[in-house]
């Protein structure tokens, strides 16, 4: 075996070991990312199992709607009365669906969503958003959520490790496929 061929074989062994070790170390993370990614892809097609359906309000004309602060107060009162008075009224976001005549109030605490009719202020639907929980598992921010870290440090580390590992898998996987082909071609040329 020539010195150049030995060097190529050594590189392939290093890539194989890197590929195998990275896969073993990050198996659980890749499992979470793949399963949650599939669930998130299907969230709007899950018949309300993952993401609550959006309900229709009475008017899509914004001029007939109640003021946003009134709608917000209604949503907070419904959260206290229908779910628990112990939950925080802190909002994750407000999602205005003009075409549906409805506003979604998504609360930080336990991923509750309350859909309110924009014109009447009445409750249209209340449900937990499983998709938000799944998304936080997918991007690693679930640990930031439960540990109450600021600035999403855990998500940043988790996403960086996952991204770098996927990049390493792509490079080493390609080389594990291409390297032996290259060696065979060079070997055939020499013979």
- pTM for the structure as a whole: 0.76
Q: In what order do the strands lie in the sheet with 91-97?
A: 91-97, 102-107, 112-117, 123-128
When pLDDT is averaged across residues 140-146 and rounded to a whole number, the result is 91
Structure confidence at residue 64 (pLDDT): 96
162 with 139: CB under 8 angstroms?
no
Structure confidence at residue 57 (pLDDT): 96
When pLDDT is averaged across residues 72-91 and rounded to a whole number, the result is 95
When pLDDT is averaged across residues 150-175 and rounded to a whole number, the result is 88
In whole angstroms, give the CA distance from residue 34 to residue 25: 16
Band of pLDDT at residue 1, cut at 50, 70 and 90? low
pLDDT one-digit tens code per residue, 120-132: 999 999 999 999 9
Q: Is 188 helix (H, G, I), strand (E, B) or coil?
A: helix
Backbone angles phi, psi at 4, to 5 degrees: -65, -40
In whole angstroms, give the CA distance from residue 145 to residue 150: 9
């Amino acid at each position: 075996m020539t010195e150049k061929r030995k060097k190529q074989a050594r590189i392939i062994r290093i890539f194989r070991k890197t590929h195998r070790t990275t896969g073993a170390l990050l198996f659980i993370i890749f499992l979470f990312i793949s399963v949650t990614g599939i669930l998130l892809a299907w969230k709007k097609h899950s018949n309300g199992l993952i993401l609550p359906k959006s309900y229709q309000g009475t008017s899509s004309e914004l001029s007939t709607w109640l003021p946003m602060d009134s709608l917000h107060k209604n949503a907070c009162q419904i959260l206290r009365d229908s779910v628990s008075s112990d939950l925080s009224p802190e909002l994750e976001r407000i999602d205005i669906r003009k075409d549906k005549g409805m506003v979604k109030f998504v609360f930080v605490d336990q991923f509750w969503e309350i859909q309110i009719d924009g014109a009447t202020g009445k409750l249209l639907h209340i449900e937990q958003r499983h998709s938000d929980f799944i998304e936080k598992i997918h991007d690693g921010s679930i640990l930031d959520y439960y540990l109450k870290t600021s600035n999403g440090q855990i998500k940043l580390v988790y996403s960086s490790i996952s991204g770098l590992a996927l990049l390493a898998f792509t490079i080493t996987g390609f080389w594990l496929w291409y390297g032996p082909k290259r060696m065979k071609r060079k070997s055939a040329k020499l013979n």
